[in-house]
Amino acid sequence: MNDPLVSVIYPVFNDLPADIHQSLTSIIDQDYKNLEIIIIDDSTNPDSINAIDKFSYDRRVLILRENSTKGLAQALNNGIKIAKGKYIARADADDIQYKKRIRTQVEYMELHAEIGILGCNVNYIDSEGKFVKKRTFPEEHQHISKYLHLRNPICHSVVMIRKQVLDEIGAYDADFRRAEDYELWFRADKNNVLLFNLQEVLLDYKMASSVKRDDLNWKMNLILKKKYFSGKHFFESLMGIASVYMYLYTPKSIQSFIYNKLA
């Protein structure tokens, strides 16, 4: 039986050429080969554009340039719209995918047809590529569903999603800028889509030297936590909302400390 096609959705917006080279190479060199790599490039920096174009030699690579200013969610939706794969695999321009990442996730999804969205654990690295810490996410759906109301329970840049799930519940909501992934997990959970995290590290996630999330991100988080407030997970819902309020009213210097410790 042939390996199912996987559509890797890879958005870029003026990322550093060195990061683009390293991250795209980690996708090209996957030991799972039945891929289409859809690059949604909204860059205006010639160096970023040139760094992407160097990978056009690979016939699996498709570059979309629509110069959209509608944000990440719309860019992702533009890629998903033309994706042909059974599975949608996310990847970002500053992270490094482990060589077996796609194969490991596909094999698990093929064996577990009930799982709709699959994540994994990640290693955080600094701007120089040095290990910072390991981030472990909740494994089973019941724990993810509960944890969802506290913090984002799935690393977006290494998630794999059944295309059928997005066809059924819809893709990213472009109204939730900075939190489009978090909104999708909430919506999937509400629609009884099973979420799961492999307890294996398959990605090096590059942390920013400062806080990656601005106030808009946290405000979107707050709106989501209120929208999907759960009586079943009342305590977690309450704590999740309270934690966002506390964070928003914390001085920026302390916010940076909290992010580096708890991200």
Check pLDDT > 80 for residue 113.
Answer: yes
Check pLDDT > 70 for residue 68.
Answer: no
Kind of pairing between the strands at 61-64 and 87-90: unpaired
Residues 6+ away with beta carbon under 8 Å from 237:
149, 225, 228, 229, 230
Q: Which pLDDT does position 2 carry in this prediction?
A: 83
Check pLDDT > 90 for residue 218.
Answer: no
252 found inside a domain: no
- 99 lies in which domain range? 6-208
Residue closest to 149 by CA, chosen among 70, 40, 225, 97: 225
Q: How confident is the model at residue 210 (pLDDT cuts 50, 70, 90)?
A: very low
Check pLDDT > 70 for residue 213.
Answer: no
Check pLDDT > 60 for residue 114.
Answer: yes
Total domain count, the chain: 1
Encode pLDDT of 181-209 as tens digits: 999 999 999 999 999 999 999 999 998 65
165 found inside a domain: yes
219 found inside a domain: no
Residue closest to 54 by CA, chosen among 17, 95, 99, 11: 17
Q: Which pLDDT does position 178 carry in this prediction?
A: 85
The Cα 98–Cα 95 span in angstroms is 10
145 found inside a domain: yes
Say which CATH number the domain at 189 has: 3.90.550.10
Q: Answer yes or no: pTM beyond 0.85.
A: yes
257 found inside a domain: no
73 found inside a domain: yes
23 found inside a domain: yes
239 found inside a domain: no
Query: 197 with 153: CB under 8 angstroms?
Result: yes
